[in-house]
Amino acid sequence: MNGFTYYSPTKVVFGGGSERDAAAEIRAFGGSKVLLVYGGHSAEKSGLLSRVCRTLEEGGLQYRSIGGVKPNPRLDLAEQGVKLALEYGADFLLAVGGGSVIDTAKAIALGATHPETRLWDFWLRKAEPKGSLPVGVILTISAAGSETSDSAVLTNQETGEKRGLSTAYNRPRFAFLDPELTFTLPKYQIACGVVDIMMHTLDRYFTPTEGNELTDELAEALLRVVIRNGPKALEKPDGYQAMSELMWAGSVSHNGLTGLGALTDFATHQLGHELSAMFDAAHGASLSTVWGSWAKYCYETKPERFARYARNVWGVSGGEGTEEAALKGIEKTVAYFKSLDMPVDFSSLGIGVQSKETLRELADRCVFRGERKIGHFRELDREDVYRIYRMAN
Residues making contact with ligand NZQ (CB under 6 A): 39-43, 71-73, 97-101, 103, 140-141, 143-146, 149, 151-153, 181-182, 184-185, 189, 192-193, 196, 254, 269, 283
Judge contact between 150 and 166, C-beta under 8 A.
Answer: yes
3-state SS assignment for residue 318: coil
Query: Which range in 118-126, 146-154, 191-199, 223-231 contacts Zn ion by CB under 5 A?
Result: 191-199
Distance in Å, CB of 303 to ligand NZQ, minimum: 27
Please, what is the Cα angle at 372 between 367 and 373, to 5 degrees?
Answer: 80
Which of 196, 265, 274, 384 touches Zn ion (CB under 5 A)?
Answer: 196
Distance in Å, CB of 203 to Zn ion, minimum: 8
Closest to Zn ion by CB, 202 vs 325, is: 202
Query: Which range in 32-40, 195-203, 211-219, 224-232 contacts Zn ion by CB under 5 A?
Result: 195-203
Q: Which residue, judged by CB position, is nearest to Zn ion in the bound state?
A: 196
- Checking 214-219 for CB contacts under 8 A at 24+ apart, the result is 215/1, 215/257, 215/258, 215/259, 215/260, 215/261, 215/262, 217/312, 218/257, 218/258, 219/258, 219/259
Residue 97's beta-bridge partner residues? 139
Closest to ligand NZQ by CB, 204 vs 373, is: 204
Which DSSP category does 69 fall into? P
Distance in Å, CB of 286 to ligand NZQ, minimum: 8
Alpha-helix residue ranges (DSSP H) falling in the chain: 22-28, 42-45, 48-58, 75-88, 99-113, 119-123, 187-205, 213-235, 240-253, 267-279, 283-298, 303-314, 322-339, 346-349, 356-366, 382-392
If contact means CB under 5 to 8 A according to the sort of partner, which of ligand NZQ, Zn ion, none does residue 111 touch? none
Distance in Å, CB of 35 to ligand NZQ, minimum: 17
Closest to ligand NZQ by CB, 140 vs 201, is: 140
Judge contact between 151 and 102, C-beta under 8 A.
Answer: no
Closest to Zn ion by CB, 285 vs 388, is: 285
Closest to ligand NZQ by CB, 302 vs 376, is: 376
Residues that bind Zn ion (CB under 5 A): 196
